[in-house]
Amino acid sequence: MSGKRTTRLTPDQRREQLVGIGLEMLADRSLDELSTDEVARRAGISRGLLFHYFDSKRDFYRAVVSAACDRFTAATEPDGSLEPVAWMRSFIAGFVSYVLEHRQVYLALVRGAAGSHPAVTDIVGATRETLARRVCDGQRRLGMPDAPRLALASRAWMAFAEEAVISWPAEEPGAQDELCAFIESSLVSVLGLLDRPGALTPR
């Protein structure tokens, strides 16, 4: 008879373990391919027991996506004591660093979960809104006046930055610094355009 004893997890610990396994699996597959059978197997429990902790596959997916989005927003939150320019650069650097390090998970969220799983669209959308609000906050920290289209421009810039980070050739030397500078210059341009609504020559 083996003397090995299995540590019994509390319900919260078990949920955290299962969500953590789901996050690990998103590193090499889409949310569509996230099998609750495999999650349960990796945790050493039955699939039926997994649904003791989550009401449904939808509920489990939402828990995994929420955890991924929480990690992302935490990683991109700058230190509030920084000076305005340093604050904005910290936000951009955190964004770039996180996506480059967790590119597959990010792709699973922004290109997979948001489109193919309506059950989690609101979570991904709220995360994007959080980041867009940080852009607005950064603009105010820089002493620029509020503009009527600031919120819209911030969301548009986020979409641009998102595509740039996902598509950038990150394996090249100095890629991360170059990418941060590129995204920063694009943000400065967008914020500058808000002060020049008539920049284009009238037709």
Average pLDDT over the chain reads: 85
Record the pTM: 0.81
For the chain, how many structural domains are there in total?
1
Q: What is the pLDDT of residue 199?
A: 44
The answer as to whether 5 is a domain residue is: no
CATH of the domain at 81: 1.10.357.10
Condensed to tens digits (0 to 9), the pLDDT of residues 11-43 reads: 899 999 999 999 999 888 888 888 999 999 999
pLDDT of residue 203: 47
- Angle between the N-to-C axes of helices 175-193 and 84-101, in degrees from 0 to 180, rounded to the nearest 10: 130
Domain-located, residue 101: yes
Confidence of residue 116 (pLDDT cuts 50, 70, 90): low
25 assigned to some structural domain: yes
Is 155 or 21 the better-scoring residue by pLDDT? 21
Residue 127, in any domain of the structure: yes
In this prediction, residue 73 carries a pLDDT of: 92
Tell me, yes or no, whether 161 lies in a domain.
Answer: yes
Q: Which of the 8 DSSP states describes residue 5?
A: -
pLDDT, position 198 = 47
pLDDT of residue 1: 41
pLDDT tens-digit readout, 39-72 = 999 999 999 999 999 999 999 999 999 999 999 9
Q: Is residue 78 part of a domain?
A: yes
What pLDDT is recorded for position 5?
43
Is the residue at 6 inside a domain? no
In this structure, are residues 104 and 26 in contact, taking their beta carbons and an 8 Å threshold?
Answer: yes
Q: Is 184 among the domain residues?
A: yes
Could you tell me what percent of the chain has a pLDDT over 70? 89
The whole domain housing 73 covers 11-193
